[in-house]
Every structure is written in structure tokens, then in C-alpha cells.
Amino acid sequence: MLSASDLRKGLKVQIDGNPYIVTDFEFSKPGKGQALYRCKMRNMISGNQLVKTYRSNDKFEKAELDERKMQFLYSQGEEYHFMDTDNYEQLSLTKEQMADNINFLIENMDVEVLFFDGKPIDITIPTFVNLEVTRADPWAKGDTSGNDTKPVTVQTGYELQVPPFVEEGDKIQIDTRTGQYVTRVKE
């Protein structure tokens, strides 16, 4: 069992039989009385948001989650198919379960698939991915404010801002947590 003082961003807890992840956390100690823990949580199955305030003596169950290494195979319509690299068992996740991860997912990428009660509910992709630029407009010189960027599209269809020297065909590294350009990859 976990107490309210164990709450922190990223913690996975079970409330009413459903797994929740703490997405935001605020602690306050009024002059009198108990400490208060205000949490924003997301249901890991339905995606619904929950905002609740807990007192220091409230208890939680830790979510019984299992993570397995799997390989992304392909997408077909609204479904994304994965294979367990140990026993070659295959499963699929919906576009809603994938959320923003679809912007960085390429075939044969190794990911961690999160299971709750034997059902896949979420994936964790690598923090940094290398993707090829498929569309980049030429950069027009002139604005020398020092903060020049231009939009590009990578092989997954994701659009982002990059420095002007990045061209079509280049491989770039992207931080999957923020969706931002990190560096150009030398091959």
C-alpha cells in the first residue's frame, strides 16, 4: 500500500480497479490541519482525466502492471501491431492507445508494452529516435535575428521546426518527450 506522501509525477496507482498515472502533483500544508496533496491523474485505459485532493493519511494500491519488450511490426488502418521478441506472440493496439507515440514509431522499433490484467494499455518508446526528413522547404536568407527555424516533415508524417541547414534526406534525432529537434545524425 502507498500513502499520499508517496504520490509524485509518473507514479502509477490503482483506484477503483483501474490503473491511473499521476500527471501533475501539488503539495500544500495549511497553517492548521493536515497536509493536502492535489493530484491530476489520467486513467491509463480510458484516458479520462481525474483531479482529486488527498489527505496525508489516505492510502492507495500500487497498480499491478507488467512491462514486456516488443517490436513494432506495422500499422493497418487504426491498429498498430507488435510482436513479443521472446515468444513471437503478436498483439495490436488502437490509435487512441498509442496517443502521440505514432509520430515517432517506425517499423522494427523495440518498445516496452505495458499490460494491466493481461491486456495491453500503453507503450513506452525510446527517448530519442532518428528519423529521415522527407520534406524540407528551402531556407530563404534575410532574417538574421539568430532564431531561424523552418518546418520539415519526417518519414512518419510528423512536422517540426528545425535549424535552416537541415535538408530533405537528412536524418535527424528527435526527443520523443517534447517532439523537438535535437541534432542532425551523421551516417
Domains (ranges, CATH) in the chain? 2-62 (2.30.30.30), 65-124 (2.40.50.140), 128-185 (2.40.50.140)
Q: Where does the pLDDT of residue 141 fall: very low under 50, low under 70, confident under 90, or very high at 90 and above?
A: low
- What separation, in Å, do the N-terminal and C-terminal C-alpha atoms of the chain show? 49
Q: Torsion over CA of 53, 56, 61 and 64, rounded to 10 degrees?
A: 80
Q: How many CA atoms lie within 13 A of 30 on its CB side?
A: 8
Q: Are 160 and 178 in contact (CB under 8 A)?
A: no
**pLDDT tens figures, 73-102:** 999 988 999 999 889 999 988 887 787 888
Distance of CA 59 to the CA centre of its chain: 27
- Tell me, what's the pLDDT at 98? 80
Q: What is the pLDDT of residues 20-29, one digit of tens each?
A: 888 888 888 8
Task: Give the pLDDT score at 145.
Answer: 59
Whole-prediction pTM: 0.72
d(CA 63, CA 78): 28
